[in-house]
Amino acid sequence: MRFVLRVWLVLPAIVMFASWGRAGEPRVERHVVVFGEEGKFGGWPANHGMWRWGDEILVGFSIGEHKNLGEEYHNIDREKPEYHVLARSLDGGETWTLEYPNDRGMLINEGGMRHGTTDPRHTEPEPAPLTEPIDFTHPDFCMTMRFQTIHDGTSRLYYSYDRGHNWKGPFKVPSFGQPGVMARPDYIVNGPKDCHVFLTASKEDGKEGRVFAARTTDGGLHWEFLSFVGPEPKGFAIMPSTVRLSPQDLVMTTRRRAAESEPKRRWADVWTSHDNGRHWEQLEDAVDDLGEGNPSSMIKLQDGRLCLTYGVRKAPFEMQAKFSSDGGKSWSKPFVLQTNGGGRDIGYPRTLQRPDGKVVTLYYFTPSDEPYRRIVATIWDPGTP
């Protein structure tokens, strides 16, 4: 199977229309298509991870064959191979090159359904126990955590010391005494052998999901369950995104869905911890209505504000951002990064800030002029407080 990388810029007129506001306000500078090919499906950067070393950026996502399954489903052919790939930029997200891992299938599952297979030429070994401590502060370190299916309930860990060119793993992620663990990469490095992770567990009835915090202080050889983040939800709470505000203070957003017996609602909530993840206090919701629902990506900007990026799966199908200047207690009005998508299948962003202050948000998007899902990088200026 052959893939062709195409990098496109939106038309200058569109950039001018979307970009310029008053001085100090956020503005979009450009959209770069990291992957977009006729007949192909690109999706879900949030499930894979995104990392930065100076102006070098690495992001993971999925590529599969497009299949029209209607507006309510992901239009990917689940009977054909799904490739888990990496895209690398050496210039802060302006241009990208695709990379194809040989032995890192790391199956990802959306909505609890198996997404086909990885490259059929390669097989992945069963996850093994970690026997050598991880150096979380290695200058070229990155790590990802994945789960098999929400019904299987097992997760695996991979890490790299060379900026994702070669990976070690898969290693077993402990169950933490839970019915199942659905891991995605949300972690905070505290020191050479010290790292917090924020994962999703199955609820007592086996359904997804409930967020919890854990920590290792010996490089991943042993992990301590710290706490659940809030009570068990009637619907679900999954896909946390967490940042550190101080040596003891954390703030987190999670993807929420109301129970089927309740009025239909999808939103992004916010939690804070003042004792390094052992107890949590709920704050004001960051986003009240996400349409059909979407995970958020939260970062701390160089100016101290929190920045939240997310997809809104309802017309006009937008990628948006919000800011908080008080540690997540309150949030700004939404700033539109991309609008007028061709359908609800958008989002799953990963966001980071470049050394020059510009922000790069990666997500998948349904264009209005064709049915094929693209991976897009929006490069934007977050303005000033």
> Within a domain: residue 256?
no
Is the pLDDT at 298 greater than 80? The verdict is: yes
Strand partners, 109: 114
Strand order, beta sheet including 296-300: 296-300, 306-312, 318-324, 335-338
Question: In this structure, what token pair is assigned to residue 81?
Answer: 């191979």
> Within a domain: residue 49?
yes
> Within a domain: residue 117?
yes
pLDDT tens digits, 334-373: 999 999 999 999 999 999 999 999 999 999 999 999 999 9
> Within a domain: residue 353?
yes
For residue 357, the SS3 value is: coil
Strand partners, 336: 320
Question: In this structure, what token pair is assigned to residue 364?
Answer: 């998948």
User: Tokens 């790292």, residue?
Assistant: 195
Is the pLDDT at 119 greater than 80? The verdict is: no
> Within a domain: residue 68?
yes
User: Tokens 């507006």, residue?
Assistant: 71
> Within a domain: residue 380?
yes
pLDDT tens digits, 41-91: 999 999 999 999 999 999 999 999 999 988 888 999 988 888 889 999 999
Question: What's the sign of the alpha-carbon dihedral 318, 374, 293, 296?
Answer: negative
pLDDT computed for residue 277 by the predictor = 98
pLDDT computed for residue 20 by the predictor = 45
pTM: 0.89
Task: State how many domains the chain has.
Answer: 1
- Domain span holding position 33: 1-124+338-385
> Within a domain: residue 180?
no
